[in-house]
Structures are given as C-alpha cells and as structure tokens.
Structure 1
Amino acid sequence: MMSKTARVAEKPRPEWGSDVIVEMLKAFEIEYVSLNPGSSYRGLHDSLINYGGNLMPEVILCPHEEIAVGVAHGYARAKGKPMAAAVHNVVGLQHASMAIYNAWCDRLPVIVLGGTGPTDTAHRRPRIDWVHTAVVQGNLVRDFVKWDDQPASVEAIPESFIRAYRLATTDPMGPVYVCYDADVQEKKLNGDTYLPSLDRYPAPLPVQAPEEGLDKTVRWLLEAKRPVIITDWVGRNEAGFRSLRDLAELLAIPVFDQNGRFNFPCQHPLNLTGMERTALPQADLVLALDVPDLESSVSRRVQEKGQRGTVNLLPSQAKIINVALDDLLVRAWSHEFNKLRQADLSMLADTSVFLPELVRRLREEQKTLAKINVEVGKRRAEWLKIHDGRNKARDEQTKANWDNKPIALSRLFTELNTVLKNEDWVYTNSTRYGAENLYLDAGKFNQILGKYKG
C-alpha cells in the first residue's frame, strides 16, 4: 500500500472541482480539517483523502459540527493561524453556529467550509437535497463572520479561498465561511490549471499608529506620575507580548491583564492584576492596549434592588490612551462590541508594531529618562508593595482553605504550580476570572492560552 507521503509526492493533477479546494488548502499549508461527514461535501471529503492523501490537511473526525469548529477555534488560539472545519449544508451550519460565534467573539481565524445544493434544482435528489439547501447559505452566519462566499464555478474557487484566508488572518482576525455547491465540487475537470501564484496576493502590512499618536503617547507617558496599563489581547503576537514587558519595566508601569490572551508574566512584580480597586484610583494615565471592554476594566459592578450598574475606579482627571483595532470589526446584530469607550487619545493600530516602536522612541529620550529616574524608582517600590500585599493575601487564603472539600482552586493551582516547576507546559483554558494567573509561574509567550469569549 502506498504511503501518504508517497501519494502526496506524486502531485497528481486535479480531476474534480473539489480537488482544487484541496490544492488551495495545501497552498496555504492548512494542517487539519475537522469535520463531521455529510453528503453535501462528499466531493471535498473524497478529495481530502484520495487526492490530498489525508496529509496537509489531515482529517480530524468529530461527532458534531459544533465540536469540529471548536477544535479549529482551539487550534487558532494555540497556533495563531487557522485550520479548517467542514460542516454539512444547512443543518450542519446551524449546529456549528454557536462555535462560529465563539470564534467571532474571540477574534480568532477559523476557516469554515460547507457544502450545499445542488443549487441547480434539476440536479437535486427528491426531498433531501431540497431541505438541506438554502439561498444563500451564508446568510445564516453572516452577522458573525468576517466574510462568507459561495463561488459559482471551479474557476472562482482560488480567488474566493485566497480572500477568505487573507480576511480571516488579518487583524482583527475572525472566522470566515465558504460554501461549495455540490455540482461545483463534483465537476469533472478538463486538465486546465486553476491555481494562481500566491506571491501576487500578499498579506497586508500591520497598521501602525500615526506620528501624532506616537508622539503624544511618548510625551504623556513621560509626564505621568502614575501611569497604568490595561491589556486584553496584546499577547496574540509575540512582538506585542515582549514589548509590553519592556515598556512596563522601563517606566515602572503596572499591568492589569484582562486574560483574553496571555499578555504579561504572572509573577512579575509589576503584574497587579486583581488589585484594580487599590491601584486604579491612583492613576493619572491609562494606556489601554487591545481592550474591547474598557468599561469593566476600570470599574466595579454594583447591583442594588435589581438595578445593575458600575462605579468608576479612575479619578476624573485621569487621561486615557486607547490603542486597538476592534472598531474595525463591528456588526449591528450582536452587541459584543461592548460600551463605547471614552478616551483622550484613540488610535487604530496593531499593538504588535505599535508597542515595539513606542519602546524604541521612549528609550531614545535619554535626558528625560535620567531626569525622572528617581521618580520612576519610587513608584516601582510603591507598586511592589501592592504586589507583595496581594501575594501575601493569596498565601493566607490558600492556607486557610487548604483542607476544603471539594478542593479549593487555590490549593489546586498551588500544587499544580509545584508539579510543573521544571516542566515545559501550556495551560489551555482559563477559569472565568483567570484565577490560575495568581498562582502559576507562567512567563513565556502563549504559555496560558487565555480566557475564551462568547
């Protein structure tokens, strides 16, 4: 029997429309396709195995479409790039819709492939092909995907897939849905080549902040007496993760991690996550980095006699700098875009390029840094006291709850941290409020995959 590697090495010519889909998956180095088999994409399923050799991509069999998209969601969070999930016509897409919405809220790239039809009613089988076909099938998820498409010919497949991949992987990222008509998948090809050169379709360069915004941010940070940083999604890129630490250490700025990604080392002395009520009332400048829900980050919830509300923790004179891209991905149907932010300076910028440039410019301010050095040292010591106080309270609570039954999270994470001390590990799914960050000694990029939204 021929090995998978040998079959792929032969590089056969596409014979069917669905072979072209597999060629595009291979061209973009998609490693896996998670799926629950369905007849509407039997052509694609056949091509994945018999034309593609079940290798790059490899099929992951799942018992339900929501699980299939959930697998792709988790892969995107861990790898920072998409895999594909295939779902069966109308019913499979409805099953998958909750998982697609989760990926949308999490701003993660998932390529959802579907089948439909035949759209040509003359080619349909009685009943089943009718109840499993919609016009246009993408309408079902259009409010919570970045883009959907239903290419009407084999010739249209490459451009459609290239656009889908580029949109899914361009910040702010998100899921896309591409639906393939059964007739298009099962069309017999005449030997023509349909594959364009991907070199002519490069990914767009990341969005950098304008000069005015960078200059103001540098000046305000150097002038501030008690600047703080709030972040939620910076850790999606390693450049942002590393530069955030550099920035915090350079100016002794405490960081409050909202845990959408792993943004800042857990046990770093400037990590004051959980101490917002103590520290934020002292702030005169807030640098909000990729924070979609700034309201909950700078306030505490109150509920009296059934009335829900918030109490702002920031002083009224505190300035706010907001740097994010999430305003580029807003839909009217779902209000996961949160409350409209107030800010004194707002920039649409990718923090993976904004933060390294900000740190570079700050380091060039040698005279000013020397002038404020004593002041920076004092606030570093003051923030350290709050950090140590938090850890002391944590240890006291852990000791008091050690013998609780069922076992307390504080003991669970304390013991887990001891076991993992000399291991190379990744924590895959956060608790609701990120309790693990208080105990685990995590400091590497993507070591904790963050809190799932949706």
Structure 2
Amino acid sequence: MTQYFSDAVVEFLHQQGFEYVAFNPGASFRGVHDSLVHEDNAAIAPSIVMACHEEIAVAIAHGYYKASNRHMAVFTHANVGLLHASMALFNAWCDRVPLFVVGGNGPLAADLRRPWIDWIHTSQHLPKVVEDFVKWSDQPIGQRATLESLYRAHQLMDSGMKAPVFVTLDFDVQEQRLEDGVRLLPADAARPAVLPALDSRAAGELAARLRASRLPVLVVDFSGQDPRTLRPLVALAEATGAAVVDRGNRLSFPSTHPQNVSGIEGDLLAAADLVIALDVQDLASALGAFLDLDDRGAPPPGTHVVTIGPGELLTSKWSADHMPLVPVAQAHSAQVLGSVEALLAALAAAPGDASGARERAERTGRLAAAHHKARATWAAEAERCAGQERMAVSSAVARIHEAVRDEEWVIVNSGSVTVDTWVRRLWPLERPLSCLGLNGGGGLGYGPGASVGAALAHKGDGTLCIDLQSDGDFLFTPSALWSLSAYDVPLLVVVMNNRQYQNSTRHAERIAAARDRATEHAHIGTGFEENPVDFVTLARAYNVHALERVESLDGVVPAITEAVAWIKEHGRPVLVELLTE
C-alpha cells in the first residue's frame, strides 16, 4: 500500500490520543483531509468535526479542552483560514488553553503553485499572523522536519504555562509519498516538561507564615484548570482558616464554601497580612479589591504577598495580557497542585497550638457569617427583581437553576460578565469543571463554538450541558448551530436576549453623562430593539429544536424543564430564548 506523508500526520494524531479534529475544509490541507477519510486509516483517524468558520473550529477545541482537559486538533486553511481563526486563538491565549493548531500553506516552491489561488494563499512565513499570541510556532520544510515540529509543538503547549501552538504544513510536503526511513518518534517524545512544586524548605517557611498570620487570604484563579487542585485547596483553606477569593477564570474553589468571600472581599479583608496568589492572572485587580495599593502598585506595609504558578514563564511581546506589575515579597514559578500539597504536608508536620486553633475558629466564623449574609442578600435581590416588567438577568439565572437543580449539570459558557456574576452568586458551584466561565480574551463569537466543544466532551455521559448564551456573542458565530445539529450534540442553549450589546450601551451612557449630555441616545448603534433577531427561527433553520420565546419570568421553569426532557428523550440540542432586560 502506498503511504503519503499526510498518512503519517494522521498516525501522529492517533499516537498522541486525539479523538477529534475540527476544521472548516480548505484545499491547503487537502492531503491530510484525504488521509483522515481514507478507508485504510479508518481505525486510527480522529473523527472530523466540521465547522462553518475557522473561528468556530478553534472555539470548539477551546471548549472541548476546558470541559475535559483533553485535546482536539484544529486545522486551518492557508492565509485566509488562519486570519479567520486568529480571534479565537487570541481568546485561547488569554484563557491559557493549550490548543494544537495546524495550518495548511500553499507550496513554498513557486514552480508548484497553481495560477492565482496558490499565490495569494501561500505565505513566506504563515505563523507571523499569530506568532505573538501562540506559545510556539514553526514553518518546517520537509517531512522529517515537519514531524519533529509536530512533536515539539505538542510538548510545548502543555509544558509550564499552557497556551496554543501553531505549525504549518506545506501543501506539497503533505501530498508527497512517504520517504524511506521517515517514521514517527516514540509517543513520549511529546510528553510535556513538568514544572516542579515548592520544595520542602519554601513550603515549610510559607506554612509557618500561614500558622502565624492574623488574616491569611488565598487568591485563586487558573488553579482550577487542573480539577485535582480543588480538594486540596479546600483542605488548605480549612486547615489555616484562610479567606478565599476566586477570581473566576476557572472554578477553583466551591462557591458555597463558607470561607469563600469572592465578591465581598472589600473591607472584610483590608487587614490581610498574608496573601498567597495561586496562578492569578491579574494580581493588581485581585489585590486592589481589598488592599490599599500605593502609587507603585505595591501592597501596604505589613502585607506579605506570595505568588505561586507558571505565569511569569509566558508573556506576549504584542499583547498586554501580562497585566500591571505588582511588587511582591516572593514569586515562585511552581506547579500549583504540588505546591498546595507540599503546604498541607508542611502544616501537618508542625501543627499549631491551641490558641492558634481558637483564633482560626473565630476567623472562619466571621468569614462564614459574611459569606452566608452575602449569598442571602444576592438571593433576595434576584427575588426582588422578579417583579420587574422585563425579565431581570438575576431572576432568570435563579429560575434556570430551579429547573435543573436535580440534574448533573455543567455550565459550559456563562455568556457575559453580568450573567457569569449572577451564576457565581446564585448557583452552587461545587464540582470541579462544573462552570467553565468566559472566553479569556474578551473576543465575541466564543460562546457558540466553545459550548459545542464542551458538550461534545460530555456526550454520552449523562451530563446536562448548559450554554447561557448572550445574544450579541451569538450573532458573531451563529453557524456553530450547524455543527451542534450535525453531530447530535446534546446541549441546552439558553439565549439571554436583551436586544443590545449591553456593555457598549453602558459605555455610551457613561460617556454621555460624563459630558453632561442626554443618555437616551445610548442605544443608537449598540442595540437590536428596532430590528430584533428571531433566535427561535434561526435555530430551526439549522435543524436545532427550539421552543417558543419566553417573555415572562413565570415561563422560564416550564420551558427549561421541557427542554431538558426533550434532550433526554432525543439526545439532541435544544434552544430556549429568554427576553431579558
């Protein structure tokens, strides 16, 4: 049997455990496409997830990884496909998600190019489009070099700080017959390097500080990317009586735990004398929420700030996603899970005295009282808003939970900052990976594709996957509904339709007010009220089952209940549109 280099690429994907590959089809990787569908490769080829846009294909892989910590490969077509994919790659970069993206390129050998199309779809250095927001990129020439690049990319995306990688496949190389002697490397050649945890000395010193602290605070953020971290973090908080602030890029700590004071940290933690930040992206904002930082961004005297995580190992020369520099007492480039376990071991080796135990008990009592008061206040606010003429987001979020609370649910996308905030206030987020959060980069168009990928990761396991989908984000990439329907992905899409780009509307109101101008024009150029979108009809056009639009709060529970029953019976997606404020 004649083998082509593209067959070896498929063998590589199989060897490294890729179950799926997502793409919008393009001629620049037609060789690999043929190998993926060739009958002789049927036993090893990853399943294809076709998308109607490269931004959607990348987002599908993004959501798939966040839901499962498993990789889905992505192929992009030449120049134009990568340009379409670039927004989604930026989201993944900011969201610290390792994506394996391979881009077809036209023949670098000019004499092999077809007239016109191969010339405009061939780049001298294709990775330049995205190289400032991927961890590593390469444009190899030749079969051996290409295989080595694929292994290196796979290794690097998961080493230390996780992030996307990009490798090009030359049009001609992938279509060549496999050269004699070209074969795969051992599977473990792509094994990532492991970042060490805190050593015993550093862990012992920090444990001593924790025992002596009057008000220790754990700030968590991306630590929840590894679901194994949640349980030891809870143990660490309980052993030390520390307050916990979850910044929300991942679900890193149970929202219902009495020591979780996220969203109410303010004056409550102003006297913190020890802050341990675990894989925190925006440390300045995290600390500024409860400490009085000086004009250099430094914490007040007497507050000892320690950072643990891989953040310093990866920065972009192009994007300022590294955030403001905060002077800290100690910065450890270390694995979070192992470091938390090392701290627990150090605490167990030298437990505190009885007076320290009393102080911890009193402190956790104060934290618990503040925690329970805040959650009761938020629930009361949602109930108070239930009487509004236009459905409040808070009330809708509460009713959706009421309808699904007995299910094994996962919120695969929480739509917008407003929706995400109310989910964290009202829903019991207790299981690792039960709320996957937002897009990371602030780029609209993420939600539909990412939700498809996350629900695909859960397909067949009985989990109810819920996409709390903002309307503006949806309108960037509505054709993700095609992939959702085509692959029978069981997903509950709840469109929170306020008929506006609310963030832009609020900005328009603020700038008008600041200039002492009328705010009633803020909706111009920021909303859809005068020409509304019918999301129900849109979904049905893509063969997605959709219920009639819900315009009153009383209709939310019946509609969601009906939608969940339909998903269970048919194993296919359902869309419910809610008209909100």
Q: Same fold, TM exceeding 0.5?
A: yes
Per-residue deviation, 1:55: 5.9
Query: Which residue of the partner structure matches residue 305 of structure 2?
Result: 320
Taking a change above 3 Å as real, the CA distance of residues 56 and 46 of structure 1, as seen in their structure-2 partners, is: closer
Question: Is the Cα–Cα contact under 8 Å of residues 29 and 56 in structure 1 kept in the other structure?
Answer: no
**AA paired with 2:68?**
K
Query: Which residue of the partner structure matches residue 372 of structure 1?
Result: 356
1:417-450 alpha-carbon deviations (Å, 9 max, x no partner): 2223221111112341532111111211111112
Q: Please show how residues 421-432 of structure 1 align to structure 2 within 5 Å.
A: 421-430=405-414, 431-432=416-417
Query: Which residue of the partner structure matches residue 27 of structure 1?
Result: 15
Deviates further, 230-239 or 202-211: 202-211
Deviates further, 162-171 or 210-219: 210-219
Q: What is the SS of the residue equivalent to 1:174? A: coil
Question: Is the Cα–Cα contact under 8 Å of residues 160 and 194 in structure 2 kept in the other structure?
Answer: no
Per-residue deviation, 1:354: 0.7
1:359-397 alpha-carbon deviations (Å, 9 max, x no partner): 12112222x154411111111111111112212311321
CA distance in 2 between counterparts of 1:369 and 1:357 reads 20
Query: Which residue of the partner structure matches residue 46 of structure 1?
Result: 34
Q: Please show how residues 75-86 of structure 1 align to structure 2 within 5 Å.
A: 75-86=64-75
- TM-score (norm: length of structure 1): 0.91
2:263 matched to 1:263? no
Per-residue deviation, 1:136: 1.2
2:429 matched to 1:442? yes
CA distance in 1 between counterparts of 2:368 and 2:134 reads 43
Taking a change above 3 Å as real, the CA distance of residues 195 and 252 of structure 1, as seen in their structure-2 partners, is: same
**AA paired with 2:14?**
K
1:14-49 alpha-carbon deviations (Å, 9 max, x no partner): 711111111110000111111111111110111111
Question: Is the Cα–Cα contact under 8 Å of residues 66 and 98 in structure 1 kept in the other structure?
Answer: yes
Identity among equivalent positions (%) equals 33
CA distance in 2 between counterparts of 1:387 and 1:177 reads 44
Taking a change above 3 Å as real, the CA distance of residues 97 and 347 of structure 1, as seen in their structure-2 partners, is: same
2:382 matched to 1:394? no
Could you list the structure 1 runs, at least 4 aligned residues long, displaced by more than 6 angstroms after superposition. 309-314
Query: Which residue of the partner structure matches residue 396 of structure 2?
Result: 412
Taking a change above 3 Å as real, the CA distance of residues 310 and 429 of structure 1, as seen in their structure-2 partners, is: farther
CA distance in 1 between counterparts of 2:427 and 2:353 reads 33
Question: Is the Cα–Cα contact under 8 Å of residues 16 and 185 in structure 1 kept in the other structure?
Answer: yes
- TM-score (norm: length of structure 2): 0.71
Q: Please show how residues 7-406 of structure 1 align to structure 2 within 5 Å.
A: 15-50=3-38, 51-53=40-42, 56-189=45-178, 192-200=181-189, 202-300=191-289, 315-366=300-351, 368-406=352-390
Question: Is the Cα–Cα contact under 8 Å of residues 254 and 383 in structure 1 kept in the other structure?
Answer: yes
Per-residue deviation, 1:404: 2.0
Q: What is the SS of the residue equivalent to 1:244? A: helix
Per-residue deviation, 1:193: 5.0
Give ranges in structure 1 of 5+ residues lacking alignment.
1-12, 302-308
1:142-161 alpha-carbon deviations (Å, 9 max, x no partner): 11111111221122233211
Per-residue deviation, 1:328: 0.5
Give ranges in structure 2 of 5+ residues lacking alignment.
442-581
CA distance in 2 between counterparts of 1:232 and 1:406 reads 34
Taking a change above 3 Å as real, the CA distance of residues 190 and 315 of structure 1, as seen in their structure-2 partners, is: closer
**AA paired with 2:330?**
L
CA distance in 2 between counterparts of 1:40 and 1:235 reads 38
CA distance in 1 between counterparts of 2:93 and 2:2 reads 33
CA distance in 2 between counterparts of 1:111 and 1:389 reads 45
**AA paired with 2:279?**
D
Deviates further, 34-43 or 427-436: 427-436
Per-residue deviation, 1:322: 1.0
Question: Is the Cα–Cα contact under 8 Å of residues 300 and 312 in structure 1 kept in the other structure?
Answer: no
Question: Is the Cα–Cα contact under 8 Å of residues 244 and 259 in structure 2 kept in the other structure?
Answer: yes
CA distance in 2 between counterparts of 1:66 and 1:46 reads 23
CA distance in 1 between counterparts of 2:321 and 2:436 reads 21
**AA paired with 1:413?**
V
CA distance in 1 between counterparts of 2:296 and 2:410 reads 36
Question: Is the Cα–Cα contact under 8 Å of residues 18 and 44 in structure 1 kept in the other structure?
Answer: yes
CA distance in 1 between counterparts of 2:344 and 2:228 reads 12
Q: What is the SS of the residue equivalent to 2:65? A: helix
CA RMSD of aligned residues (A): 2.1
Per-residue deviation, 1:272: 0.7
CA distance in 1 between counterparts of 2:94 and 2:240 reads 33
Q: What is the SS of the residue equivalent to 2:218? A: strand
Q: What is the SS of the residue equivalent to 1:33? A: strand
CA distance in 1 between counterparts of 2:2 and 2:430 reads 47
CA distance in 1 between counterparts of 2:350 and 2:389 reads 55
Q: What is the SS of the residue equivalent to 2:144? A: coil
Per-residue deviation, 1:165: 0.6
1:292-338 alpha-carbon deviations (Å, 9 max, x no partner): 1011112259xxxxxxx999896542111111211100122111100
Per-residue deviation, 1:175: 0.5
1:155-196 alpha-carbon deviations (Å, 9 max, x no partner): 223321111111111231111111100110100125645112
Deviates further, 443-452 or 372-381: 443-452
Taking a change above 3 Å as real, the CA distance of residues 429 and 201 of structure 1, as seen in their structure-2 partners, is: closer
Q: What is the SS of the residue equivalent to 2:394? A: helix
Question: Is the Cα–Cα contact under 8 Å of residues 230 and 291 in structure 1 kept in the other structure?
Answer: yes
CA distance in 2 between counterparts of 1:446 and 1:204 reads 24
1:102-126 alpha-carbon deviations (Å, 9 max, x no partner): 1111110111111112111111111
CA distance in 2 between counterparts of 1:389 and 1:111 reads 45
Question: Is the Cα–Cα contact under 8 Å of residues 10 and 45 in structure 2 kept in the other structure?
Answer: no
**AA paired with 1:378?**
E
CA distance in 2 between counterparts of 1:282 and 1:407 reads 39
1:401-426 alpha-carbon deviations (Å, 9 max, x no partner): 11224322222222222223221111
Q: What is the SS of the residue equivalent to 1:298? A: helix
Query: Which residue of the partner structure matches residue 306 of structure 1?
Result: none
Question: Is the Cα–Cα contact under 8 Å of residues 434 and 451 in structure 1 kept in the other structure?
Answer: no
**AA paired with 1:356?**
E
Taking a change above 3 Å as real, the CA distance of residues 15 and 244 of structure 1, as seen in their structure-2 partners, is: same
**AA paired with 1:229?**
L
Per-residue deviation, 1:235: 0.5
